[in-house]
């Protein structure tokens, strides 16, 4: 019998390539058919290993879920960026590789990010998800998120609606 270690930890610069690959795979799966293909490619290609290396070096809060020797997912979070929403923290991104979805890993990653934010005094939190990304909406609702705002974002010639989910301290 073998045991696979599941670890949640802060990203290191040596993780940049794995985070970029996880980002690529997760975004292609999540947004195929939602964000126009060439726009999706542009968004993914902008976030290669160099981008992640720079973000990690600058101190961005990037937490990984590692399954054995593979990065299964990541969360990127910090202070709330939307001035119109009165929440302290924000989860900017939370993504898992497709084969690690539906196993409770997203919940563990979300809880780790939330705990880290709370330990920094950021008690309430918000996260945005595209309205057409039903799996993400279901995930945040299942975690107890309450829809508190709507907005839209432009991807090339296509405008997509998005919804903010929030949690109080």
How do residues 41-95 score in pLDDT, each as one tens digit? Answer: 999 999 999 999 999 999 999 999 999 999 999 999 999 999 899 999 999 999 9
Residue 1: count of CB within 10 angstroms of its CB:
2
Three-state secondary-structure class, residue 68: coil
- What does the pLDDT look like over 128-158, one tens digit per residue? 999 999 999 999 999 999 999 999 999 999 9
Q: How far apart are CA 75 and CA 92, in angstroms?
A: 8
Give residue limits of the domains in the chain.
6-167
Tell me what pLDDT residue 113 has: 97
Tell me what pLDDT residue 3 has: 81
What are the structure tokens assigned to 13, written together? 């610069």
Tell me what pLDDT residue 169 has: 75
- What does the pLDDT look like over 13-38, one tens digit per residue? 999 999 999 999 999 999 999 999 99
Closest CA to 13 of 44, 59, 47: 59
Q: Model pTM?
A: 0.94
Closest CA to 13 of 67, 49, 66: 49
Superfamily of domain 6-167: Gcn5-related N-acetyltransferase (GNAT) (3.40.630.30)
Q: How far apart are CA 70 and CA 165, in angstroms?
A: 29
Do 134 and 140 touch, CB atoms closer than 8 A?
no
Q: Which residues contact 74 (CB under 8 A, 6 or more apart)?
A: 11, 19, 22, 23, 62, 63, 64, 65, 93, 94, 95, 109
Q: What is the residue-averaged pLDDT of the chain? A: 96
pLDDT score of 2 more than 90: no
Output phi, psi for 26, to 5 deg: -65, -40
């Amino acid at each position: 019998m073998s045991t696979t270690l599941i670890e949640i930890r802060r990203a290191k610069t040596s993780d940049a390539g794995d985070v970029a690959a996880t980002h690529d795979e997760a975004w292609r799966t999540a947004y195929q058919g939602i964000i126009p293909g060439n726009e999706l490619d542009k968004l993914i290609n902008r976030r290669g290993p160099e981008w992640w290396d720079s973000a990690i070096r600058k101190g961005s809060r990037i937490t990984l879920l590692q399954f054995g020797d593979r990065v299964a997912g990541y969360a990127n979070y910090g202070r709330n960026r939307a001035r119109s929403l009165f929440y302290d923290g924000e989860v900017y991104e939370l993504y898992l590789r497709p084969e690690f979805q539906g196993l409770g890993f997203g919940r563990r990653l979300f809880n780790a990010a939330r705990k880290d934010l709370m330990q920094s005094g950021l008690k309430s939190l918000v996260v945005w998800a595209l309205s057409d990304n039903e799996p993400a909406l279901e995930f945040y609702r299942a975690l107890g998120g309450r829809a508190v705002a709507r907005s839209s974002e432009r991807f090339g010639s296509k405008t997509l609606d998005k919804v903010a989910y929030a949690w109080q301290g």
